[in-house]
Amino acid sequence: MNNLEWYKVKDVHNVVTPALLIYPERIEKNIHKMIGIAGGTEHLRPHIKTHKMAEIIKIQMHRGIHKFKCATLTEAKLLAQCGAEDVLLALQPVGPNIQRFCDLMEQFPNTEFSTITDNETSIEAFDQIASSINKKIALWLDVNNGMDRTGIVPGNKAIELYKAIEKNPNLIAKGLHVYDGHIRESDFDQRKKICDTDFSPVLKLKTDLEKLGIRVENIIAGGTPSFPVHAMRKNIVTSPGTPMLWDAGYGRSFKDLNFLYAAVLLTRIIGKPQQDLLCLDLGHKSVASEMKLPRVDILGLEGSEQIGQSEEHLVVRCKNADNFKVGDVFYAIPIHICPTVSKYPEALTVVDGRVTGAWKVAARDH
């Protein structure tokens, strides 16, 4: 099997479709590249929302990564179960999830947990529950520098919120958390220019706090597209997540990153309704479908057109449909890998063209 056919499975007739395939050797190479871009493991706090798998967490830990970021409490628990030293829940817990977060602190005392906040109401809630359990809760101030999803805009109110955390005896002010997912320019120079411009108010916020005698120990910044930019700064920790598996969406948009595809969907033809149409068993339930078609890059069907998708079916128009028959297999790279992975209970590992095992997608729940 040549390098151009790295994704193919020799014993494919035994694999039920649709299936999620992952390639551990490629994951290892992506992690190595990610560490290199960041300038060392000390500058990394990788996000696990893309893969949600214990095995990939442990590979990173073996490479010297011990700080992680996650989006759900189930992911936080998985990290603790794997022995991660430092876990940031980067989705502000509210309601019963505050208690669930504190339960993890009790259950896994050897893991340092922290989370984010951006408002007075949440700070008061954290204060009350921390007092009731006689434990300090570590908080990062979530800063909005243009994403307009969560976070507080840098300025006087942000200063007052950070001061409120810092002076509260039940809370620990960890630093600033900044996610700039709105920066998606394909050209690196343009992406860097926008990233630097949007980050300047964050640096000013840090400076303004320190002028008041409040030391800001840490800043966590960026996602996958911007982490190479933030890696150029001093004393900034970055949080890429997609590079572990990579996907066609980022592969097309950010060619400068050049990570390897390490996750592939296996699918079969289940129907040929017209002379130029193929129907694959790759519906909404099997691949992320929040974007317009196409939702995958089908290897071997370049130039085809994805014209329809329902829960179990993907209909493709291709000029050479006569060359294929019902039951033939295809391999597809998802446009968006993160929600695709969560649709599968497990991922089949492929090494040297052979299915060697299965890794559980252990943190699918919230």
Model confidence over 42-53: pLDDT tens digits? Answer: 999 999 999 999
Question: Hey, CA dihedral for 179, 182, 187, 189, is it positive or negative?
Answer: negative
- Identify any residues that bridge with 238 across adjacent strands, giving them in sequence order: 44, 221
Q: Give me 35's structure tokens.
A: 């560490």
pTM greater than 0.75 (yes/no):
yes
What pLDDT, in 10s, does the model give residues 19-37? Answer: 999 999 999 999 999 999 9
275 with 213, same domain? no
C-alpha dihedral sign at 314, 51, 75, 94 = negative
Residues 213 and 266 in one domain: no
CATH code for the domain in which residue 276 is found: 2.40.37.20
Q: Do residues 244 and 227 make contact, with C-beta atoms less than 8 angstroms apart?
A: no
Q: Which tens digits make up the pLDDT trace of 107-164?
A: 999 999 999 999 999 999 999 999 999 999 999 999 999 999 999 999 999 999 999 9
What is the distance between the alpha carbons of residues 356 and 251, in angstroms, rounded to a whole number? Answer: 27
Residue 63: is its pLDDT beyond 70? yes
Residue 2: its pLDDT value, please?
Answer: 61
pLDDT per position as a tens digit, 314-348:
999 999 999 999 999 999 999 999 999 999 999 99
pLDDT on residue 4: 84
CATH number of the domain where residue 120 is located: 3.20.20.10
pLDDT of residue 199: 99
168 and 84 share a domain? yes
Same-domain pairing of 64 and 132: yes
Q: Domain total for the chain?
A: 2
Q: Report the candidate in 238, 223, 202, 206 with the shortest Cα–Cα distance to residue 67.
A: 238
Assign 175 a pLDDT band (cuts: 50, 70, 90).
very high
Of residues 336, 352, 348, the one with CA closest to residue 49: 336
Give the separation between CA 267 and CA 283, rounded to whole angstroms: 10
Domain of residue 301, residue span? 3-20+258-360
In a domain, 52, yes or no: yes
Which of 320, 352, 340, 319 is CA-nearest to residue 267? 340
Total residues belonging to the chain? 366
